[in-house]
Amino acid sequence: MWSLFVIVLALVIVCTTHWVYRWKNPISNGKLPPGSMGLPIVGETLCLFTSQSSFDIHPFIKSRIKRVTFTPTVEHCSMATIIGLCIRVKLLRSLPSRFKAIMVKERIEERGRESLVHPVNSIAEPPNLLLIGYHVVPPNRSSPAALNRYGPVFKTNLARRPIVISTDPEFSHFIFQQEGNSVELYIWFLDYFKNLIEKKNLNIHKYVRNMVLDYFGTEKQKERLLMEMEEMARRNIGIWSKQASIEVKEVTTTMAFGLASKKLLSYDPNNHLENLKDMFTGFLQGLMAFPLNVPGTAYHKCLKDQGRAMKVLKDMVEERFNSPGSQHQDFLDVVIEEMKKDEPVFNVEGAAYLVFAILLASFETISLALTLAIKFISEHPVVLKELKNEHERILRCRQNVNSQITWNEYKSMTFTSHVIDETLRLGNIAPLIFRRATKDIQVGGYTIPSGWAIVVCPPAIHLNPEKYEDPLAFNPWRWEGQGSNTASKNFMPFGGGMRLCAGSEYTKLQISVVLHFLVTKYRWTNIKGGEIVQTLGIAFPNGLHIKVTENN
């Protein structure tokens, strides 16, 4: 009986040990980037959910990309210390080479400085160096200077997914350029979308991007969209001015969702029993929560809200598909036309997922960017003054002050564009950009295995002091003379490569229109709130409450 128990216990120990070893040492056809896979099952997920009250790089990322230089201190030591060191030198040098190598490696890893590789025969026990009457003291292990960091590219494991995280502009640019070749878009809640595509060999992301640009990118649509945005801004800001105060994130979400849902699928909340905006808002609140699908958790509610929203969208797609001749002049009409072709790209569920993804991206980005812009402008009166000067010049050049904004006027809003770029750089509304390797990728001396997620971290690039002077300062003038900054190796608020967000111009246009009316026809004062908390994104725990007043 005891023998059987011992055998079972031994098997359990062996299997567990092998499993833990495999977790910490993933199989790869080449050299993996440095890093840690964390604890079994949870990986380093818990570390990712730490928060801070600044716009600085997230602690999880910042603590792993710092390069540490060993700067020992020299202390006077007694003869007894010297004798002790000599004994340690003698003992280590007397060991076989393979044992010395193991001991040195373990000591280096324990100290957390893998970059300190000393020949085992030249140094007795790194990093203690024997001098005459003195010895070198390594940094305190509890000191931040002694912590090991992996550099700008490192591996980790988050939510049971092996991941390579890049904070390096060149590395990230290379990844973006591989889209459609060895890299694909990866967002967990849209992963199922690939299974709904009828043409399996189609580059769906490129196809969808072209659909969006064909609909929103024509000159006719630009002029029409500008007119609708202006009407939306006039109406909503007028409503804001009649209230004692407004919470900026809430009202801008309502405004942006209203326009996006109208352009995409002619959605009218008055014709539906359930509010689609509330479902999307609930989904977003749990999107970056700890992925524990248990009733009562934010993640569980997130999945439920996604399911409810998908049901509403599928019903709308089916109704439109089964109504021949029905035209609403919206994006869903374009999708329905694709579905009715001889070789359709989408089925009903795939079309619903497509609308879900575009609607989600369109309104949340705008509402958060607008809230951040108003916060930054409020805190920098000199920026507000320059904005007013620019937009008042536009009004003075008009024959009719109350005429509508033209496309040429929008393109002349140079400083406004700088304010938006600086808001996107400092606010980092997309803190992580996800991709996935479809085959092994060799880059920078490392191998990224097929199936691994690749996460590009724009904040680490946007807040790099080597690229941006005083990176945590809000300074729109830093963009003067740089032309269009929609995307570059050092500025990627909308991604990069062939997956550059098709809605980037849409976002900047809507923010510009709202700012135009706010600084020319209204003024605002801060009431309360404005403090931010950063976890996986920016949030306003106390909101941002302002009072909007119409100018006399």
Distance CA(391)–CA(403), nearest Å, equals 14
The set of residues, in sequence order, having a beta carbon less than 8 Å from that of 43 and lying 6+ positions away, is: 37, 156, 157, 158, 159, 160, 161
Bond before 344 cis per omega within 30 degrees: no
SS3 percent helix, strand, coil of the chain, rounded to 5, is: 50, 15, 35
The set of residues, in sequence order, having a beta carbon less than 8 Å from that of 261 and lying 6+ positions away, is: 267, 276, 277, 359, 363
Q: Considering only CA atoms, which of 391, 447, 398 is closest in space to residue 415? A: 391
The set of residues, in sequence order, having a beta carbon less than 8 Å from that of 538 and lying 6+ positions away, is: 55, 368, 372, 427, 428, 429, 532
Report the alpha-carbon angle 223-226-228, nearest 5: 110
Q: How many C-beta atoms lie closer than 10 Å to residue 40's C-beta?
A: 14
Distance CA(540)–CA(249), nearest Å, equals 8
Strand partners, 529: 544
Q: Which two tokens stand for residue 423?
A: 């808001």
Distance CA(232)–CA(270), nearest Å, equals 17
Give residue for tokens 């904040």.
459
Single-letter residue type at 446: Y
Judge contact between 65 and 152, C-beta under 8 A: yes
453-456 sheet: strands from edge to edge: 153-158, 161-166, 453-456, 433-437, 183-185
Q: How many C-beta atoms lie closer than 10 Å to residue 350's C-beta?
A: 23
**Spacing of C-alpha 180 from chain mean position:** 21
* Gyration radius (Cα) of the chain, Å: 28
86 is in an annotated binding site: no
Report the alpha-carbon angle 527-522-516, nearest 5: 115
Q: Which two tokens stand for residue 104?
A: 């040195």
Judge contact between 414 and 472, C-beta under 8 A: no
CA separation, residue 174 to residues 182, 206, 387, 398, 495 (Å) = 11, 18, 37, 46, 12
Strand partners, 547: 525
Cα atoms in the Cβ-side hemisphere of radius 13 Å centred on 140: 3
CA separation, residue 75 to residues 133, 134, 144, 273, 465 (Å) = 9, 6, 20, 76, 34
Buried b (16+ CB within 10 A) or exposed e, 151-188: ebbbbbbbbebbbbbbbbbebbbbbbebbeebbbbbee
Binding residue ranges: 501
Binding residue ranges for heme: 501
